Structure 1
Amino acid sequence: MRKIIFTLTLALFTSMAFATEIVATVVFENLTDKELKSGEFTIIDLNEKIEISKAESFKITLPEKGKYQFSFVSDDFTAYTFYPTRINKRKNTITVRLMEKTEFKNTGIYSFPMNLETDLTDEQIEQRIENGTLNFIMHGIDSSIPKEYVEFKEKYGIGLIKENCVIDPLSFKRATENNQMIFDFLNKKYGTDWPNELKAKPFGIK
């Protein structure tokens, strides 16, 4: 009898563990004429890397719903990774947008939660910088990253994401709050001279 109870308990525990898993879908938006032949998708929090050889959708399994960070890198593209702040059964799509590389050296990781958190602590900001997932936001007619922002990311660990030039009020508010949070952090850490290194200032920064 004890053996039967133990077996049933183990089966119940196993089924509950699988029930908490979340399946997310990774989709690609290739905005270039080139074919993706190699790249690496990373689930940063789990330190799990997946080699990619074509721009086809695929699924990943996460241990539970919650906050995750993802990135995608390729030698042939500038890649932007967009994903929900919290992954759950309803919000479970991760989008990798492939853009033409600029003429400048570009080794950054552009990882971008679609619902930005703009009240991060200094410790959380430092963690995002370490993971390469903290970015200023600008809007523009093309995806090119100015040279000073490439150099800025190499120096400070903070990159730039350029979104569509059509700006709605919510996007403008989100971008401004995000940029102001980074602005305040950099001022506390490096003083007030660092903005001089950026010719084009992000929203919310003078």
Structure 2
Amino acid sequence: MKKIIATLIVVLSFIAAKAAEKEIIADVVFENLTGQELKFGEFFITETNEKIAINETKSFKISLPGTGKYQFGFTTKDFTAYTYYPARITAKQNIITIRLVAKNEATFNKNTFSFPMNLDTTLTNKQMEQLIIAGKLNFIMHGLDNKIPKEFAVFKEKYGIGLRKENCVMDPMSFKIATENNQLIASYLNKQYGNDWVNELPSKPFGIK
């Protein structure tokens, strides 16, 4: 009987250890670029449908089911919030950064911006074509408003590549993301059409010469 109990304890311990291996603990940290205090905000995880009420900029930890791709966000009426995180969360790549900047009348009517920090630059031509068909492949530009020039509608109709306007606030991370995204698309267009398509752009996004 004692041997059976001992065996069960070992088995249960092994199962618990394996379950713990799958769980990922991620750190959520704040970068408050203003002199104001955070009164209230809400951090959310789309995949787990989890929402966490936040009333200070103190770092905290979250538990995720395992390694994988997640979408995080942070909403608040006090600031414009940018959320940066690795494209794939792992035990080593597990830091989610929430950057708070002062609200500006020139910013979009939004209060949350989420950016995976690493773009997938290994997409095949077929995958790029699938994104075009789905209408999800866009150049990224930053500006004072979110209006898309009419000329870009003509470009999208011909090449299938649209334009996404982001907040006018520019920082090194968002500049890096926009540049890598635009260069990835440019490389695809060059393979398909040569270099002539560049001359048809109403304006050149970051990273395109």
Q: Verify: 1:52 aligned to 2:54, yes or no.
A: yes
Deviation sequence 1:39-60 (CA, Å, 0-9, x none): 1111111111111001111111
Residue pair 1:136, 1:178 contacting (<8 A) in 2 also = no
TM-score w.r.t. structure 1 length?
0.66
Aligned to 2:93: 91
How far apart in 2 are the matches of 1:167 and 1:41?
20
Residue pair 1:73, 1:109 contacting (<8 A) in 2 also = yes
Q: Which amino acid aligns with 1:202?
A: P
| RMSD, aligned α-carbons | 4.2
Residue pair 1:137, 1:163 contacting (<8 A) in 2 also = no
How far apart in 2 are the matches of 1:166 and 1:2?
57
Identity of aligned residues (%): 42
Residue pair 2:139, 2:182 contacting (<8 A) in 1 also = no
SS at match of 1:46: coil
Aligned to 2:171: 164
SS at match of 1:94: strand
Aligned to 1:177: 183
SS at match of 1:45: coil
Instruction: Sort the Cα spacing of 1:165 and 1:71 in 2 relative to 1 into closer, same or farther, 3 A.
Output: closer
How big is the shift at 1:173?
4.7
Residue pair 1:108, 1:159 contacting (<8 A) in 2 also = no
Instruction: Sort the Cα spacing of 1:52 and 1:149 in 2 relative to 1 into closer, same or farther, 3 A.
Output: farther
Query: Out of 199, 202, 205, which is 2:205 matched to?
Result: 202
Residue pair 2:43, 2:74 contacting (<8 A) in 1 also = yes
Q: Verify: 1:63 aligned to 2:71, yes or no.
A: no
How far apart in 1 are the matches of 2:173 and 2:40?
32
Larger radius of gyration: 2
Gaps of 5+ in 1: 140-144, 151-155, 184-194
SS at match of 2:10: helix
Query: Out of 15, 18, 25, which is 2:27 matched to?
Result: 25
How big is the shift at 1:138?
4.5
SS at match of 2:99: strand
How far apart in 2 are the matches of 1:180 and 1:62?
35
How far apart in 1 are the matches of 2:174 and 2:105?
27
Aligned to 1:113: 116
How far apart in 2 are the matches of 1:83 and 1:5?
42
Count of paired positions: 179
How far apart in 2 are the matches of 1:114 and 1:175?
11
Residue pair 1:179, 1:204 contacting (<8 A) in 2 also = no
Q: Which amino acid aligns with 2:171?
A: N
Name which of structure 1's ranges 115-124 and 21-30 shifts more when overlaid on structure 2.
115-124
How big is the shift at 1:117?
2.2
Query: Out of 98, 101, 104, which is 1:102 matched to?
Result: 104
How far apart in 2 are the matches of 1:157 and 1:36?
33
